[in-house]
Amino acid sequence: MNFHFLEAQPSTRSQNQSIQINYSGKKMNSYLKLILATAMPLGVFLGTAISASAGQVRIELLDVRCRNTEDVSGADEFYIIGALADGTNTKAALTSPIGINDGQIKSFDPAQQVIFDADVPEEQTVRGGMQAFDEDFGKDWAKHGDTANKITDTVATGLKSSGNPYAVGAGTIIDYAVKGFGFFASLDKDDNLGTLELNVPASGPSVEEKEWTFSKKDWSGYSSWNYTVRYRITRDKVEVPAPDKVEVPAPQLLGKDLYASIFEKSSGPDWVARHGQTSEQYQNTFNDLVSKGYRLVNVSGYNVP
CATH 2.60.40.150 location in the chain: 54-238
At residue 288, the pLDDT reads: 81
At residue 148, the pLDDT reads: 93
At residue 226, the pLDDT reads: 96
At residue 24, the pLDDT reads: 46
At residue 34, the pLDDT reads: 33
- Report whether 231 contacts 59 (CB < 8 A): yes
Range 54-238 classified under CATH 2.60.40.150: yes
At residue 279, the pLDDT reads: 78
At residue 241, the pLDDT reads: 53
Distances in Å between the Cα of 193 and the Cα atoms of 28, 132, 181, 208 are 34, 5, 16, 24
At residue 286, the pLDDT reads: 78
Which residues of the chain are under the pLDDT cut of 70?
A: 1-54, 183-188, 220-221, 238-269, 300-305
Beta-ladder partners of 247:
46, 262
